[in-house]
Amino acid sequence: MLLLGGGLPGKSLALPGDTLRPYVGFNMLYDSNFLRLSDDIDSVQLTGKNNKDDFIKQLSAGFDMDWNLSRQHFIINANVNQNWFQNFSNLDYTGWDTRAQWNWQLGNNFNGEIGYVNIQRLGSFAQLGGLFDNLQNNQRYFANGGYLFHPNGKIKLGVFRTKNKLEGDSRQFSNNTEDNAELNLQYLSPTQSILGLTVIATDGSYPQRQLSTDGTRDTDYMRMNYAVIWDWRASSKTRIDGWVGYTQQNFDHFSALDFSDIIARLNLHWQTTEKLLLELSGRREINQAQNLFASFVLTQGVWFNLRWQTSPKITLELPVSYQEQQYLGGSGNNTRDFEQQKDKVGMVGLNVLYHPIDSISISLVLNYEKRDSNYPIASYETQSAGLNLQMSF
């Protein structure tokens, strides 16, 4: 949940102009430390298993529909996937990823989007430190409209609701609902660059959470986000976009949990040659936390990706990232004699994408990740390798 604005998912191979594109996929993933457990933890005592690794298989099927009716544009994406775990077989699940969206247009000056997203998948275990029923369902309802009041000026109003539900009994106290209202003012340059101001007001709650007697957990909050946004097309090869702003969150009952901070994202896209793309992103963001104590996490770091198309059928990617995380809005936040958890996470990967023909995609994914934490039992190291096959019709 970015405060602006299954399993092993695959992307369909829809081609421009297609109205309906069904596809099927088969994915395999090996992870040497799937639960992200520290070496200081006895995995047998914690999980009942001798090994921390796992081998996951996934079968998936879905379709993408892209349909234009006069000036109206309709998009439907649907995917269902079945996932099997060799070691932690109690995590087997059926997931899905669906989206329905209507991009509406009224005359030359009014347009907007109305839509719904529903995703069910297994959440990350990186912030949990144990074996939990971590199946999650995330829903988003949204509607907005914009008015082009000047050839270079646009105002946009929108509302959206997010609902995050965790299936496990031990996790349901983290179920979260947010209702949001958004205002955007934008300047549109003749070169298609954008400069704007956005304000988002959020009313959030944890409907199944009880107020803690010690003031470490709250049930309701209000948040305001203010940001300057831009999308600068510096040249045909260079694009710089992002935002910088300020967020302030106040809890209804326990002000000790309140937080406020500067948030920002800066993205650089540089197409150095026809076959080589460099992407660099610097981020300072606050998102929903996935652990058992804090409600939010402040993440700041850098993300880099090199994408090299070595031939018409083969593409190589080299993603690298480093981030620091600090947990907010939960046990010990802003309280005396308690050290809030802080993590440093580094990741490097290698992806090989192969398209023997337009309707078939094969990819090999390698990844190494390491986290150092001021809580020793939260530090971990893991390596993973995945093979993804997909065919569209």
Structure confidence at residue 12 (pLDDT): 46
Q: Is 256 helix (H, G, I), strand (E, B) or coil?
A: helix
Q: Token pair for residue 90?
A: 């109690």
Give average pLDDT by consecutive 10-residue segment, the chain, 393 residues.
40 56 97 94 87 96 95 96 96 98 97 98 89 93 98 97 89 91 96 96 92 81 97 95 96 90 97 97 89 79 98 97 88 49 95 96 98 91 98 95
pLDDT, tens only, 315-344: 999 999 999 999 887 644 444 345 678 999
> For position 347, what pLDDT does the model report?
98
The residues, any chain, with a CB within 8 Å of residue 68's CB and separated by 6 or more, are 74
Cβ-based neighbour number of residue 141 at 10 Å: 15
Give the C-alpha separation, 180 to 128, whole Å. 28
Report the pLDDT value the prediction gives residue 376, as an integer from 0 to 100. 84
Query: Residue 217: what pLDDT?
Result: 80
Cα–Cα distance for residue pair 68/71, rounded to 1 Å: 7
- Paired with 63 in beta bridges are 22, 78
The 10 Å CB-count burial string (b at 16+, else e) for 287-299 is ebbbbbbbbbbbb
Residue partners of 73: CB distance under 8 A and separation at least 6: 66, 67, 102, 103, 104, 105
pLDDT of residue 167: 84
d(CA 244, CA 197): 10
Query: What was the pLDDT predicted at 367?
Result: 98
E strand or H helix that includes residue 192: none
Buried b (16+ CB within 10 A) or exposed e, 48-74: eeeebbbebebebebbbbbeeeeeebe
The Cα 12–Cα 25 span in angstroms is 9
Calpha distance 296→251 (Å, rounded): 12
